Amino acid sequence: MKYRIAGSALAAALIIFAGYAALYIAPVDMRQGQVYRIFFFHLAAWVSTFTAFTIVFISNVAYLSTRSQRWDRLGVAAAEIGVACCSIGLITGPLWAKPIWGIWWTWDARLTTTFLMWLLYISYLMLRGLMEDPRRSATLSAVFGVFAFLDVPLVYMSNRLFPTQHPQPVFFGGPNSGVDPTMAKVVVLCMVAVLVIMIPVLVDRYRLEGMRGEVEELRQEIELRTSLPGGNGLDAQARPVKEVL
């Protein structure tokens, strides 16, 4: 418990310092002014999104290979975090775009593929609730998750492959790409801070999914026993489990 408290305190301190660095340590951009500062957490949100969806892809492939429920639980946990981070990116992007581009949104290659990615992983999560059989649900969602991941590298490469409203990549781009060294350090700090927040949330969500699975198995076992001749005496045990759910 004390390690979890220490880890949470460290994560909170890191995210607070990252916010301070983004607002006060990073220099002002000569072209965009102060509004560009949203970029630090906008980019960090997308790094976390790609990280989470990559974990989903690995988990889906591993589940289809092993049929281990652990991989299925990890995939679900990572998908929820990825959708949350993707939503943050989709919200902060227009807030930055409006004063710079003069528009909130445009259906260029980058934004269209990103919106499609968001819809695909929301569909991945919704798909799991359409079937009562957990193993069938896990298998079908894993197949869909592998398919959905095809859009992730397309989002990343979109402004390299197609003309978009987005500028050319700032990092790992052409010869004129790059930022001020202080800006680069703050970018790395913000990315690390968001990832440090993401990891314990992923672990806790994975554990929660495991407990849900155990409760579901217990409920099914009780319902099976009560359906057998002479099993009515277990109704009193089944009722608390259903009330908990």
Q: pTM for this structure?
A: 0.85
- What is the predicted pLDDT for the residue at 135? 86
Phi, psi of 29 (to 5 degrees): -75, 130
Distance CA 193, CA 19 (A): 9
pLDDT (tens digit per residue) in 150-188? 999 999 998 888 888 777 666 655 555 567 788 889 999
- Note whether 142 and 64 are within 8 A (CB): yes
Q: What is the dihedral of CA 198, 199, 201, 207, to 10 degrees?
A: 150
The candidate with the shortest Cα–Cα distance to 45, out of 73, 75, 81, is 81
**What separation, in Å, do the N-terminal and C-terminal C-alpha atoms of the chain show?**
26
- Number of Cβ within 10 Å of residue 80's Cβ equals 19
84 vs 169 pLDDT, higher one: 84
> What's the mean per-residue pLDDT of the chain?
85
- Token pair for 170: 């700032």
For 23-56, the pLDDT digits (tens) are 999 998 888 888 889 989 999 999 999 999 999 9
Q: Which residue has the higher pLDDT, 90 or 164?
A: 90
